Amino acid sequence: MDTAELERSLEAHHAESFGWALACCNRDYADAEDVLQIAYLKVLDGRARFDGRSGFRTWLFAVIRRTALERFRWKRAYARVTALFGMDVVAAAPPEVEERLQRSETAARLLRALSTLARRQREVLELVFYHDFTIEQSAETLGISIGSARVHYERGKKRLLERLTDEEERVAFASA
């Protein structure tokens, strides 16, 4: 794939890619922007190469996920160093886009319930529900077996339903 074709492909998948980056960054808008920018740079400068063994979007999402994990490790190490030397780490202010999403009570409930799931379950559900991946594509993106992806998908759906039902009951009880 030449650079112009890569740029067109990245542009075509940008909105979905940003949504996946948000999911990989625990809905931190600033981190998601950084992760996506770094992932795009990896793709464009050749550090991440598309070899055609999977679909472009599946491959791109895997690059974004690995980049987010690298960022998380870096932030954790940075926090340890700053704590060791007594420096404060300033947290990013919540972005306007995320605030609009949080205003929706249904979306807020869903995000809360999703955040309580195990990481793999949350990732598989995010890919399948929000990005229209198949379970097989999700497995490939996450670097796990199809059987494992199916298990995470089924358990994640079950736990998500339990969490949403529990929260609905708590809200109803509190309102009574």
Higher pLDDT, 137 or 98: 137
Same domain, 144 and 166: yes
Provide the pLDDT confidence category of residue 104 given band limits of 50, 70 and 90.
low
Whether 98 is in a domain gets the answer: no
Percent of the chain at pLDDT exceeding 70: 81
- pLDDT for residue 93: 43
Other beta carbons less than 10 A from residue 41's beta carbon: 12
Closest to 133 in 3D by CA, of 7, 1, 13? 13
Examine the domain organization and report whether 115 and 74 are in the same domain: no
For residue 73, give the CATH number of its domain: 1.10.1740
Question: Does pLDDT of 144 surpass 70?
Answer: yes
What domain count does the chain have? Answer: 2
- Across the range 64-73, mean pLDDT stands at 91
Judge if 8 and 81 occupy the same domain: yes
Given pLDDT bands bounded at 50, 70 and 90, which one contains residue 67? very high
Mean pLDDT of 52-73: 91
Cα gap 64→169, rounded to integer Å: 37
Q: Which domain CATH number covers 139?
A: 1.10.10.10
In whole angstroms, what is the distance from residue 41 CA to residue 165 CA? 42
Residue 18 lies in a domain: yes
- Report whether 173 contacts 141 (CB < 8 A): no
Q: Which residue, 110, 122, 100, 105, is CA-closest to 26?
A: 122
Same domain, 79 and 146: no
pTM score of the predicted model: 0.60
Whether residue 47 is found in the same domain as residue 133: no
66 inside domain: yes
The model's confidence at residue 174, banded by pLDDT at 50, 70 and 90, is: low
CB proximity list for 102: less than 8 A, separation 6 or greater: 94, 108, 111
What pLDDT does residue 159 have? 92
Over residues 41-62, the pLDDT tens digits come to 999 988 888 888 889 999 999 9
Residues 135 and 172 in one domain: yes
Q: Find the domain containing 50 and state its range.
A: 1-93
Residue 135, both tokens? 């379970």
Residue 164: per-residue pLDDT = 84
Sorted by sequence, the CB contacts under 8 Å of residue 18 that are 6+ apart come out as 32, 33, 36
Domain match, 120 and 39 both: no
Distance CA 121, CA 41 (A): 28
